[in-house]
Structure 1
Amino acid sequence: MFRELRRKNQQLSETEARSILKNGTHGVLSVQGDDGYPYGVPMNYVYGDDAIYFHCAKEGHKLEGVRRSDKVSFCVVGEDEVIPEAFSTAYTSVIAFGRAEIVADEKEKREALRLLAERFSPEFGEEGEAAIRSSWNDVCIVRLNIEHAVGKAGREQIKREEARYASFL
């Protein structure tokens, strides 16, 4: 159903891919936009239980796309460094494919908002709870249920890892 990575030697392990999803702070959510055009929007997120959670307003282009088709993708770049002399980039990334669902369950919505607050503002626990209460009726949570995810490392990143490993031998 999903394509295999063409350059298999650049594919990250499942553990490495999940680590990028867990540690990332933002990515690009792509949905089916207006007139069949793809719509990609940068989003903060939190990853847990093999799902990605986003918060957003209760209306807008993004949610219209999700309602049009629940099939979405989400791309996270873990590392990114341009290597000018090599005309290349040392990078790691993950693309997750799955189905997006607007969270209706209030307990799950509250938990996702708490996870987001803890992830991005861990030192502001009380303020985070107050923000959740004050925005409750205006905020929407979307859960991306991951069906397939693949991580990839650029060739320059692989060379760096190989050199680092060789230095330990």
Structure 2
Amino acid sequence: MFREMRRKKQLLSPEDTIAVMDRCTNGVLACLGDEEYPYSVPLSYVYFNDKIYFHSAKAGHKIEAITKYPKVSFTVIDKDTVVGNEYTTYFRSVIAFGKS
């Protein structure tokens, strides 16, 4: 259903993925917004019992967008260390796909 990860060596194990979700507290929700423009919004979350719970008001752009187009993705960045002398970045993130 979804594309395979291109850089498979970077793929986190299920245990590491859960650890990232448990450790972090914020991420970016991406959905389809007004006039079908992409809309992404940073927000706080809790990962509990294999579900992601978002902090949210009961109304607004985000609620309208996910009500109209319930397919979303949510990205959590756990590590982003730039190592200039190596011309690289040590980066770890989790992307979850789902329906609201």
- Alignment deviations for residues 51-88 of structure 1 (CA, whole Å, 9 cap, x no partner): 10012111111001111111100000111111111222
Higher strand share: 2
State the secondary structure of the residue aligned to 2:64: helix
C-alpha distance after superposition, 1:34-54 (max 9, x if no partner):
111111100010001111001
Q: Which residue of 2 aligns with 1:162?
A: none
- Structure 1 equivalent of residue 58 of structure 2: 58
Q: How does 1:1-169 map to 2 (within 5 A)?
A: 1-100=1-100
1:99-149 C-alpha deviation (Å, 9 max, x unpaired): 11xxxxxxxxxxxxxxxxxxxxxxxxxxxxxxxxxxxxxxxxxxxxxxxxx
Residue identity opposite 2:40 in structure 1: G
For residues 54 and 25 of structure 2, what CA distance do their matches in structure 1 show?
11
**TM-score, normalising length: structure 1:** 0.57
Displacement of 1:91 in angstroms is 1.4
Structure 2: unaligned runs, 5 residues or longer? none
The alpha-carbon deviation at position 8 of structure 1 amounts to: 0.8
Q: Report which of the two has the higher share of helix.
A: 1
In structure 1, list runs of 5 or more residues that go unmatched.
Answer: 101-169
Q: TM-score, normalised by structure 2?
A: 0.95
Q: Percent identity?
A: 49
Which structure's CA Rg is the greater one?
1
CA root-mean-square deviation: 0.9
| Alpha-carbon separation, structure 1, partners of 2:53 and 2:92 | 21
Residues in 1 aligned to 2:44 and 2:53: alpha-carbon distance in whole angstroms: 9
Q: Which has the higher contact order (CA 8 A, sep 6+)?
A: 1
Task: Number of aligned residue pairs: give it.
Answer: 100
